[in-house]
Amino acid sequence: MKEVKALSAGGKIGRADITAAVIYHALSAVLGFILCRTVFFEKYTPFGVAFAAGCPSAYLPGAAAGVFLGYLLSLSSVTGFRYVVAAFAVFSIRFILSFYKKLDRSPPFAGLISFLSVALTGAATLSGIKADLLFLALEAVVCAVSSAVICRVSSFINRIYKGLTGEELGCLLIVISMVLSGIYGISAFGINLSVIVAVALILSVSKYGGTLAGTVGAISVSTLFFFAGQNTDICFAFTVCALAAGLVASYGKYVQLCAFFVCGAVFAVIWGPAAKSAAFIAEIILGCIAFAFIPKNAGIYLGKIFTCFPDISVNNDLNLAVTMRLSEAAAGIKDVKLTVDEVAARLEGINTPGFQSVLGRIEGEACAGCKMRNHCWQAQREGTLNAVFSVIKQIKAEGAAGQKSLPEDFKGRCIRSEKFQNAVNKNYLKYASVVAANSRISAIRQAVTDQFEGVAGMLDELADEYSSDWRFDNSAAVTAVTALKNIGVCADQCSAPVDKYGRMKINLRLIKSSDTVLNKRDIMRVISLACERDFAPPVIKKASGETFISISERPCLKVDIGICQKSAGDGELCGDAYSSFFDGKGHFIMILSDGMGTGGRAAVDSAMAAGLMGRLIKSGFGFDCALRILNCSMLFKSADESLATMDIASIDLHTGNVELYKAGAAPTVVRRQRRTGKAVSTSMPIGILSDVSFDRAGIKLFAGDIIVLISDGAAFDGTDWIRDELERFSSGSAQELADRLCLCAARRRSDGHTDDITVMAAVISKT
């Protein structure tokens, strides 16, 4: 039970704190009262003493009130009074030793004091019959075990929503069964309330915790009902019904209800007489109705509670190990980049010739043996260098130098002007080729190291993702795989991570099969039904001959996308390329790229940019990492200049947050709550410089808002007219809006030239 420790500012207890404390004390009193009524072998009631020993120390006053009231109202003999004495002894011991927190919260300690209290008070009232001695000893043992279980439950009740281990789930179900046994006597018209609640409980545990958890719950309830005096028939029936319900849980809630009801009806018919059968069937029907009307949000919460997880520390250790390994790999790749840069810088200083060496070779080849050498290179050095630069200037302009490239005053005093010119021409061209080669090598090296840096960035992002507050729903993973087998889709690996916001994602790797037909709608329907959550259409990826499926929970928003293109001069090829898709993480991605110029070359550049960016994002690369890798590919795609713009909108369909990433792209126009604005890019297109980055902007959109990506051809006449069109747009599809904007952009072109026009319009709405 959760302890109220939070205090308001200044250390004073606030009204909310007092209310919470009152509620928890009242709940402790109610549980204590009910457990005093839980019967063991028809006349023993030690569970109130067990609750007194195992309940949280913060709520001992409430527990004491409930336990004493429960025992005092049920006193029927001197032997019944001993439970009051035993409970008083337990409360006294816990009060005296309350300063020893570790001891007070220890399950063995709770079991010990409850065992001694019940055993000693039982011995004091023993009549001397050996059978009574045996039952009193058994009672003391049961009380001790119950105390330890209750103490164990109180230790993890605060984090119950994070998932439980198998041991913790078993303890929780035992305590719930004790409570159900305590209300066993409440009935109307022969219909028992505790049986109705037990049916709903077993169905819930089977649905959200799996067959094993459902069977454990049925056994726990049946055992306590048996101790309470119920016959063995209903105990056996509960176990079989739970097993049947758990086996068909992957087919959905209503199939599970039918299985449970059919099994229960069969047992009712076998039992007889009619009155007993009718009552049991009525109890099953009411329990099934209660289960059927459990809200979806409550079902998700129950799934967190009843799912069996491995030990939490194991998951944390594994998570930490994966995070550290990814961070280590990222750091290693970054070190490779730094090492390559350092070695390259040293080699560049060694291998790249200086211009002074070029002058030395010119002097050695052209002026060797000339009596005017010292005069030209010392007294007239400035004039000689001007002659060298004059020849180099003509070489740069025309590719070679002639006699006219030398100044007249230099030719008048140089008796070897032709030889001098040839030496400059030869040695400078050699120098220029070496510099160009080194520059090309440096650019290639930069591209390689940028790709290293991109991979390192992706590993860092994965490490950050794994280090966040994630948990894995193993039960949902097993349920999803089982459900997919029913439609012929077989997976050999599956994980069901749940993020800190409670959103689940199912990741599957399929068993290789050439005849497997994947229908996205069927996959979405089956997994949604099995896991009791609404999932969006799956993302199917194929890599290295393997097929991977990612499916995320259906978000609260959806996107209606409309795209319209018009090629320059109505040509066959458009220099713009686009892509839109779900990334499998609750985001809808829009990508638009505008290649340089028009026609085939522009179409190739934009198609490569949009296609590769989409593939990298789908593969898990972040936008910045993907941009660096794409830029390297564009730089060295061919010997000719190759560039393209990049415009991306990432829409979080769970929150409405939109991130805009722009590299040399045209403005993006957004209508938010009937008001329009635009995001402008000042960065360079990709494929020009080795160092490129995105301009970023963020905005939160709501249902009815619009975002429009356009290429340069649509922005020829500015974007004010687009803003006016968006403000006037009130109904219709996104495709109709995109068609209208594209047609208007073509009409507004008034300079006699044409350009490729692309409009991507996305209208946000509720699902």
Count Cβ neighbours within 10 Å for each residue of 471-501 and write b for 16 or more, e otherwise.
bbbbbbbbbbbbbbeeeebebeebebbbbee
**pLDDT for 740 beyond 90:** yes
Task: Flag whether 751 is in a domain.
Answer: yes
Neighbours of 591 (CB within 10 A): 23
The pLDDT value given to residue 739: 93
Side-chain-side CA neighbours of 129 within 13 Å: the count stands at: 5
Q: Which domain holds residue 655?
A: 557-766
Helices (H), 381-416: 381-398, 408-413
The pLDDT value given to residue 410: 76
**pLDDT for 662 beyond 90:** yes
In 3D space, the residue among 606, 676, 616, 615 whose CA is nearest the CA of residue 647 turns out to be 606
Q: Assess whether 371 and 478 both reside in one domain.
A: no
In this prediction, residues 79-103 reach a mean pLDDT of 82
Q: Which residue has the higher pLDDT, 709 or 629?
A: 709
**pLDDT for 323 beyond 70:** no
C-beta of residue 568 within 8 angstroms of C-beta of residue 598:
yes
Q: Assess whether 173 and 68 both reside in one domain.
A: no
Any idea what the CATH number is for the domain that residue 248 is in?
1.10.1760
The structure tokens 């990814």 sit at 326
> How big is the chain, counted in residues?
767
Q: Which residue has the higher pLDDT, 258 or 364?
A: 258
* CA distance linking residue 453 with residue 457, whole number of Å: 6
Q: What are phi and psi of 34, to 5 degrees?
A: -65, -45
**pLDDT for 431 beyond 80:** no
In this prediction, residues 514-537 reach a mean pLDDT of 83
Task: Flag whether 327 is in a domain.
Answer: yes
DSSP string, 139-172: HHHHHHHHHHHHHHHHHHGGGGGG-EEHHHHHHH
Confidence of residue 373 (pLDDT cuts 50, 70, 90): confident
The pLDDT value given to residue 7: 35
The pLDDT value given to residue 316: 45
**pLDDT for 6 beyond 50:** no
Q: Assess whether 74 and 118 both reside in one domain.
A: yes
Q: Assess whether 349 and 485 both reside in one domain.
A: no
Task: Flag whether 312 is in a domain.
Answer: no
In this prediction, residues 23-38 reach a mean pLDDT of 85
What mean pLDDT, rounded, does the chain reach? 77
H or E segment at 95? helix 78-96
Confidence of residue 320 (pLDDT cuts 50, 70, 90): low
Bridge partners of residue 506, in order along the sequence: 551
Q: Which residue has the higher pLDDT, 363 or 738?
A: 738
Q: Assess whether 169 and 195 both reside in one domain.
A: yes
Domain boundary among 114, 143, 162: 162
Q: Assess whether 489 and 548 both reside in one domain.
A: yes
* CA distance linking residue 157 with residue 110, whole number of Å: 17
* 310 contact partners, CB below 8 Å, separation of at least 6: 165, 474
The pLDDT value given to residue 274: 54
Q: What are phi and psi of 698, to 5 degrees?
A: -135, 145
**pLDDT for 338 beyond 80:** no
The pLDDT value given to residue 596: 81
Structure tokens at 764: 């946000």
Q: Assess whether 294 and 326 both reside in one domain.
A: no
Any idea what the CATH number is for the domain that residue 699 is in?
3.60.40.10
Confidence of residue 276 (pLDDT cuts 50, 70, 90): low
Task: Flag whether 434 is in a domain.
Answer: yes
Confidence of residue 175 (pLDDT cuts 50, 70, 90): confident
Q: What are phi and psi of 248, to 5 degrees?
A: -110, 15
Neighbours of 76 (CB within 10 A): 8
DSSP 478: H
Q: Which residue has the higher pLDDT, 676 or 277?
A: 676
The pLDDT value given to residue 317: 47
The pLDDT value given to residue 55: 87
Confidence of residue 430 (pLDDT cuts 50, 70, 90): confident
Percent of the chain with pLDDT over 90: 10
**pLDDT for 81 beyond 50:** yes
**pLDDT for 725 beyond 60:** yes
In 3D space, the residue among 228, 458, 146 whose CA is nearest the CA of residue 327 turns out to be 458
The pLDDT value given to residue 333: 55
Most confident of 74-88, 276-290, 733-747: 733-747
Q: Assess whether 279 and 350 both reside in one domain.
A: no
CA angle 488, 492, 497 (to 5 degrees): 105
DSSP string, 602-653: HHHHHHHHHHHHHHHHHTT--HHHHHHHHHHHHHTSSSS---B-EEEEEEET
In this prediction, residues 180-196 reach a mean pLDDT of 75
C-beta of residue 154 within 8 angstroms of C-beta of residue 54:
yes
C-beta of residue 696 within 8 angstroms of C-beta of residue 660:
yes
> pTM here?
0.50
Q: Which residue has the higher pLDDT, 177 or 401?
A: 177
Helices (H), 160-271: 166-182, 193-227, 232-247, 253-271
Q: Assess whether 475 and 386 both reside in one domain.
A: no
| Lowest-confidence region among 327-331, 574-578, 737-741, 756-760 | 327-331
In this prediction, residues 717-721 reach a mean pLDDT of 88
Most confident of 76-90, 121-135, 207-221, 332-346: 76-90
Q: What's at 436, amino acid-wise?
A: A
In this prediction, residues 671-675 reach a mean pLDDT of 88
Q: Which residue has the higher pLDDT, 345 or 185?
A: 185
Q: Assess whether 446 and 504 both reside in one domain.
A: no
**pLDDT for 402 beyond 50:** yes
C-beta of residue 723 within 8 angstroms of C-beta of residue 676:
yes
**pLDDT for 151 beyond 70:** yes
The pLDDT value given to residue 104: 77
**pLDDT for 135 beyond 70:** yes
Percent of the chain with pLDDT over 70: 76
In 3D space, the residue among 474, 550, 436, 571 whose CA is nearest the CA of residue 164 turns out to be 474
Q: Which residue has the higher pLDDT, 747 or 413?
A: 747
Overall number of domains in the chain: 5
Q: What is the per-residue pLDDT across 282-310, written as a single tens digit (0 to 9) for each? A: 888 888 888 888 876 676 667 667 765 43
Helices (H), 293-416: 296-306, 312-351, 355-366, 373-374, 381-398, 408-413
Confidence of residue 579 (pLDDT cuts 50, 70, 90): very high
Give the strand pairing for 308-309 and 164-165.
Answer: parallel
In 3D space, the residue among 299, 177, 191 whose CA is nearest the CA of residue 238 turns out to be 177
Q: Assess whether 478 and 458 both reside in one domain.
A: no
* CA distance linking residue 657 with residue 585, whole number of Å: 14
* CA distance linking residue 451 with residue 460, whole number of Å: 14
Q: Assess whether 101 and 186 both reside in one domain.
A: no
Structure tokens at 11: 């250390």
Domain boundary among 552, 579, 603: 552
The pLDDT value given to residue 11: 46
**pLDDT for 170 beyond 50:** yes
The pLDDT value given to residue 1: 36
* 401 contact partners, CB below 8 Å, separation of at least 6: 391, 392, 394, 395, 421, 424, 425
The residue ranges of DSSP E strands in 673-725, in sequence order, are 675-679, 695-700, 706-710
Domain boundary among 162, 194, 217: 162
C-beta of residue 511 within 8 angstroms of C-beta of residue 490:
yes
The pLDDT value given to residue 421: 79
**pLDDT for 348 beyond 70:** no
Q: What is the per-residue pLDDT across 591-617, written as a single tens digit (0 to 9) for each? A: 999 888 777 778 888 888 888 888 878
* 301 contact partners, CB below 8 Å, separation of at least 6: 161
